[in-house]
Chains A and B, each alone.
Chain A
Amino acid sequence: MTTTDIRAGRLSQEQLAENFSDHHPPLNSANAIVESDRCYFCYDAPCIEACPTAIDIPNFIRKISTGNLKGSAKDILTQNIMGGMCARVCPTEILCEGVCVRNTHEEKPVRIGDLQRYATDWFFESGETLFKRGEPTGKRIAIVGGGPAGLSCAHRLAVLGHESVIFEAREKLSGLNEYGIAAYKTVNNFAQREVEFILQIGGIEARTNHVLGRDVKIDDLRNEFDAVFLSIGLGDVNDLGLKSDDPEGVYNAVDIIAELRQAKNLDELPVGRRIVVIGGGNTAIDISVQSKKLGAEDVSLVYRRGAQHMSATWKEQEFAKSNGVNIKYWLSPKSLHSENGHVSGVEFECTKLNSNGKLSGTGESRFMEADVVFKAIGQSMQDTIFSGSDIPEMTKGKIAVNSEFETSLAGVWSGGDCVGSGDDLTVQAVEDGKQAANSIHQKIMQQ
C-alpha cells in the first residue's frame, strides 16, 4: 500500500530557476550572422508557404545578414504581429523549418525560428516604432477574447484606422500565451511585453474581466458595434469519458499550467511524486515536462495510439524524453483507482489498430500508480457563451466560418482555436485574426 505523495518545494529555488529559464537561449550576433548566411535566399521559397502567416523568410534573413535589423523586424511583424512569440513557440519542425531546402542534403534546416527571435528581440530592445494607426474611419469593432487571434485582429484593425474594444474574460490579455504556453518557452514576462507593444498603436480598448454570456451578450455587441470578432479559444476541457467521477488528485492539465504560469514562487506549488499524464498533444507534453522540471520523480505520458499519431511533433516528443518523461504508447485509460477519495493509480487497456484501421482494445491491461493524474486530451468550445442569444452555425464542435472568417451571423466574424481554420497554434490564430480584420475592413467600408 502506498500513500499519496504530493508536496511543494521538491527542488531548491535555484534549481527551479534554472529549470524554468529560457530552454532555448537566443542567438548572439556572431551566430546570427553565420546562421543568416546559411539561407540560400530561395526563389518562391517553400518556407514562406509553410508559414501560416506567410512571413517573407528569405528577405528577413537577408536583412539580418546586411545589418538591417529594423527592416528585418518589419518584414516579420507586418505579416505576424506576434512574430516575437511565434519565434519562441512555433513548432518550426512541422512549419517553415520542416520544408527548408537545407533539409534535403544536410538534414539541417536554417534556424528560421531562432533568427526570427534575433530580429524581433533586437526590435523590442531598440525602442523603435514600426506601425502607425491608420486615418480614423469612425468604425468600431467588438472583439471577444484577447488571445493571439483577438490581439492580431485588433492591431490590424488599428492599422486600417478602426477602433476596437476587446472583451476579455481573464485578468490579463494574450490568452494562452499568458496562461498556456510552457513557462520556459516564454521567459521574462514576454507575453505581456508583446501585449504592450501591440496596444501601443492606439485605438484598442481592453475590457478585462468581461465574460461573454455573463457580462455582455453577443446580440448587444452586434447592435452596438459595426462588427464583432469572436476569438474565444477553447474554454472547455474534454473529459476522459470514464464512468466514475474524478477522485481528488485528477486535474485538467490546462488549469494547472495556467496556475504554474501565474505562480509567484514555483517552490510553493504542490507536486506529485508519481504523475500520469493522459493525452497526446502539446498540452500533454508541456504538463509532463513542467512536472519533471518541478521535481516529480516519475512522469508517464500515456497515449492511446502510436508516436506517429500524436499531435505533439517528433521534436516535442524528443524534448519530453530528454527531460526524463516516460512516453507510453498504445494504452487507453479504463478506470481511475482511488484510496480515501484520492487517486492512487490508473488502469489502462492495451490498444492496437485492427485490420480496418480502427483503434480497439486488446483486452490486456496495465496499471500505473499515481499521486496525480493530468487530463490533457484536448479542449473544446464552451457552450455557455451564446446563452440567450442567436447561436452561430457550428461544425465539428467549433464555430463554422467561410474563407473570409465570417460566421453564419451577419456582422460576426470568428477566428483562432474556436474555428477550424488549421492547427490549433498561436501562429494560426494570429493569421486568422489578421485575415478576419482585412475582411471586416472590406465589408464595413462598403457600408
Chain B
Amino acid sequence: MADLSCNVAGIKAPNPFWVASAPPTDKLYNVERAFRAGWGGVVWKTLGIDPPIVNVSSRYGAVHYNGQRMMGFNNLELITDRPLEDNLREIKQIKQDWPDRAVVVSLMVPCTEKDWKYILKKIEDTGCDGVELNFGCPHGMSERGMGSAVGQVPEYIEMVTRWVKECSDLPCLVKLTPNITDICHAARAANAGGADGVSLINTVNSIVSVDLDLMAPEPTIDGKGSHGGYCGPAVKPMALFMVTEIAKDPETNNLPISAIGGISNWRDATEFIVMGAGGVQVCTAVMHYGFKIVDDMIDGLNNWMDEKGYQTLEDFKGAAVKNVKEWQYLNLKYDIKARIDQSTCINCGLCYISCEDASHQAIRETKANGGRHFEVIDDECVGCNLCMFACPVPGCISMERVDSGTEYQNWTTHPNNPMRVDQN
C-alpha cells in the first residue's frame, strides 16, 4: 500500500483528492458525505460578504457527446447563497469532526482591503487549513468587480494576494481563471503577492448551446440566457496545458499547484500530478456520479503506484514536465507509419477517406477477392495519426516506428530553417 498523503502549499491531506469549491461543498451535509466516502479534502463553496447572493432557476447547461452525458458542463451559479455565519459554523464543525482532512475555505469579496481583512478574521476562527482566493468565477461576480475581473488583471491578483498574506497566516491558494491569454502572468502575479500556491482552472467562458426556437442561449431563464462557466471532461486538455505552463515557468516552477479541470478518475488525476500538481480537485464528476467515485481514484492511484514501485506522490510529482519541450526541439528524424491490423479491420474506409481528403493520400483501396481492402502506402504516410483516430475499431490501426532510432535533428539546425544555428 503506497502512501497517498499530500501536502499542497502547506495544506496536508491523507490523499490528493479534494472536492472543488462548488455545490458539492456547499454545506456540512455534503462535506460530511464526501469525507465518509474517502475524499482527502474539500474547498468549501466560495464565501462572500452578507447579504448572500441569489441564484437564478435553470442554472446548468451541458454538452453530451456520442452517448456520453455531461462531457462538458456549464453553470451560471454564483458563490454561496447561504448566510456567512451558517457557513462559518459548519466549517468549524466539520474541521472538528474530521481533523485529518483538508478543509480549505474559498473566498470572494469586493476588491477592497477592508473587506478582505473582515472576512479573513471571520474565518480564522473556524480552524480551517487554508484559504483559496476565487479570482476565477466568470459570470455574475465579475460584473461586480470580483472573480475573474480580478483574475484577469495580474496587478490586482498580486495586490489582493498581498493583503491576504499580510493579515493572515493561513496557507493561501490563488484560484486562477483560464479566461486569459497567458496563464503564466496570473501565476507569476500570485507568486509575487506571496501566494503559497495556485489552483486552476476555474471555469471557461462558454455558451454551450442555443435554443433555436427561443433564439436564446441555453440554459434559458424566462426566454433569455447568459454565458456561463464551462467545466467537465471537455476542459481537461486546457487545464493540463495551463498547469504544465506554470510548472515549466522558471519563475513559478516551485509554486505548489492544486490542479482542477475535467478530472474524473485516478488516471486523469495522475496525469496532472506528473505535470507538477501536488493534488487535484474535482467538481463535475462528483456532480454527475456522486462522492463514491473517489473509491476508484484512491484504489486506482494506489495500485498504479504499487505497480510502478512509487512509494509517495513526491516520487513522480512533476516527472513528465521535463519531457514537455518547445516544438523546435522535437526530433525531426523520428518517423512512424500507420499499420492496419487486417484481422480486426471491418473495412469501413474511414482511414482511407480521412487520409485521402485531409492528409497525405497514403491509404490505398484495393478490391481483392471481391472484398474491399485498405493498406498504407509507406512512402506517402507522414505518421500524422489521423487514420488511427478516425478508425472505429480500437487497436486496429497502430503506429510503428521506422527510423533507426539513433539519429537526431531538430528545427534549430535544420537546413530549411533560415534562422538555423550552426551545428558546430
Contact = CB atoms under 8 A, between A and B. Distances in A.
B266 interface: yes
A347 B299 CA distance: 61
A62 B395 CA distance: 21
A66 B302 CA distance: 13
A37 interface: yes
A43 B68 CA distance: 17
Interface string B241-265: 0000000000000000000000001
B299 A41 contact: no
Contact of B300 (A33, A43, A68): A68
Given A41-B289, A68-B303, A71-B303, A63 B394 contact: no
Interface in A32-72: 33-34, 37, 41, 43, 59, 62-63, 65-68, 70-71
Nearest to B344: A30
B125 interface: no
A267 B296 CA distance: 48
B290 A70 contact: no
Interface centre among B292, B293, B296, B300 (most CB of A within 10 A): B296
B296 A59 contact: yes
A162 B307 CA distance: 30
Contact of B266 (A30, A37, A66): A66
A29 B393 CA distance: 12
Interface string A16-34: 0000000000000110011
Contact of A66 (B265, B393, B395): B265
Nearest to A41: B289
B394 A62 contact: no
B293 to A, nearest CB: 7
Contacts of B266: 66, 68
Given A30-B393, A30-B395, A70 B303 contact: yes
B383 to A, nearest CB: 23
A59 B295 contact: yes
B420 interface: no
B407 to A, nearest CB: 34
Nearest to A65: B265
A37 B68 contact: yes
A62 B288 CA distance: 14
Interface in B44-68: 68
B300 A30 contact: no
A67 B269 CA distance: 13
Nearest to A74: B299
B68 to A, nearest CB: 7
Interface string A61-90: 011011110110010000000000000000
A41 B292 CA distance: 10
Contacts of A34: 394
B154 to A, nearest CB: 37
Interface string B24-37: 00000000000000
Contacts of A70: 303, 307
Interface centre among A33, A59, A71 (most CB of B within 10 A): A71
Given A37-B68, A68-B266, A63 B299 contact: yes
Contacts of B395: 29-30
B115 to A, nearest CB: 40
A66 B296 contact: yes
Contacts of A66: 265-267, 296, 300
Nearest to A42: B289
Interface in B281-302: 289-290, 292-293, 295-296, 299-300
Contacts of B300: 63, 66-68, 71
Contact of A71 (B289, B299, B394): B299
Interface in A309-338: none
Sorted nearest first, the 3 A-B pairs with minimum C-beta distance are A68-B300, A30-B394, A71-B299
21 contacts: A30-B393, A33-B394, A34-B394, A37-B68, A41-B293, A43-B290, A59-B292, A59-B295, A62-B293, A63-B296, A66-B265, A66-B266, A67-B267, A67-B300, A68-B266, A68-B296, A68-B299, A68-B303, A70-B307, A71-B300, A71-B303
Given A66-B266, A71-B303, 15 more contacts: A30-B393, A30-B395, A41-B293, A43-B290, A59-B292, A59-B295, A62-B265, A62-B293, A63-B296, A63-B299, A66-B296, A68-B299, A68-B304, A71-B296, A71-B299
